[in-house]
Amino acid sequence: MDHQTLMLFVAVAGFLAVASTVGFLLQQRTGASANPVVENLIARINAWWVMVGVLAIAFAFGKIGVTVLFYLISFFALREFITLTPTRNSDYPALVGAFYLVLPFQYFLVYIEWYGLFSIFIPVYVFLLMPFLACLGGDATRFLERTAKTQWGLMISVFCISHVPALLTLHLPNFEGRSLLLVAFLVLVVQSSDVLQYIWGKLFGRHRIAPHLSPSKTTEGFVGGVVSATVLGGSLWWMTPFTLWQATGMSLLICVMGFIGGLVMSAIKRDRGVKDWGNMIEGHGGMLDRLDSVCFAAPVFFHAVRYGWAQA
């Protein structure tokens, strides 16, 4: 990690230390009678300590560490998606191909920086391969629905998420050796947008945006969270190849795409009749619950940076 990246993690650790102190004081104030809101807050803060720690270890190993980390994230995300969208025994060939062929090959392409192939491998070739593998099971029952589930799972859990480590493949003028900061910028902005939308919604939320899809999302929460996170992202321009106004515009793009991702993934959960994708992360639900915003923001941010700033 370069000096700026290290200092960024120190600052985040300091913020979490303050949050942990506040959580402890609130817990002491409530006394023996456990307050569910406070307990959930503490669980979320503890989970953030773990997630930031894991991210810091990955960053310490550079490109290979970040690539391996997000490969594992994609694996668990895909497992959650497939678990909540049940398949049949005849889908076994397609699932084996998804987990043990498509997933590792996509990340291998990202690692070797083969943009021309990793950008179309899943949307084109895998899109055509999955129905064929499903045919090998010899079962036509709800064939279209089953195939779509596998294809959509790969797009969300593998293709979209793989664009986070793909940021390290971009060669930006006067920014060589600092690409980890782009990953940090994306993660900070999109996650802070989620948190701030939640806070603004709890404090001032009155008008629900999509009550049947995501009852917790309100207009006030969306506006307040997006504006706050956009301002935060703009203030972090110094860690990016962008100017102040460019960083602000990119932050707004990230926040809006993150909101869209969260809404779409909430719709899928409501369709499956569940509140969370899983229980892997205490206080946060499953892996996809924490990364639903990243899924939509990452590929859009990657291509915006690539076409706007990267060298040919």
- Residue 311 has a CB neighbour count (10 Å cut-off) of 9
Both 155 and 285 in one domain: the answer is no
26, 60, 94 - which closes a domain: 60
pLDDT of residue 227: 95
CB 226 within 8 A of CB 232: no
Distances (CA, A) of 118 to 128, 156, 312: 15, 14, 17
Indicate whether 241 and 282 sit together in one domain: yes
> Are 26 and 138 within one domain?
no
Please say which residue of 151, 169, 187 terminates a domain: 169
Statement to judge: residues 35 and 94 lie in one domain: no
Predicted pLDDT of residue 260: 94
Does 107 lie in the same domain as 70? Answer: yes
Residue 107 pLDDT: 97
Do 190 and 300 form a contact (C-beta atoms < 8 A)? no
- Whether residues 251 and 192 fall in one domain: yes
CB 79 within 8 A of CB 156: no
Structural domain ending residue among the three candidates 152, 169, 186: 169
Query: How much is the pLDDT for 282?
Result: 60
**Backbone phi, then psi, for 285, in 5-degree steps?**
90, -135
- Which residue stretches of the chain have pLDDT < 70? 1, 30-35, 37, 40-41, 280-284, 312
pLDDT given for residue 284 in this prediction: 59
Is 69 in the same domain as 184? no
> Does 153 lie in the same domain as 140?
yes
Are residues 92 and 156 part of one domain? yes
Type and span of the H or E element at 166: helix 163-166
Q: Residue 134 belongs to what domain range?
A: 64-169
Q: How far apart are CA 241 and CA 231, in angstroms?
A: 17
- For residues 259 and 273, is the Cβ–Cβ distance under 8 A? no
Both 159 and 80 in one domain: the answer is: yes
Q: Let me know whether 162 and 87 are in one domain.
A: yes
- The total number of structural domains in the chain stands at 3
Report in angstroms the alpha-carbon separations of 109 from 34, 162, 312.
49, 10, 18
Do 90 and 126 fall into the same domain?
A: yes
Overall pTM > 0.75: yes
- Nearest-angstrom CA–CA distance, 123 and 136: 21
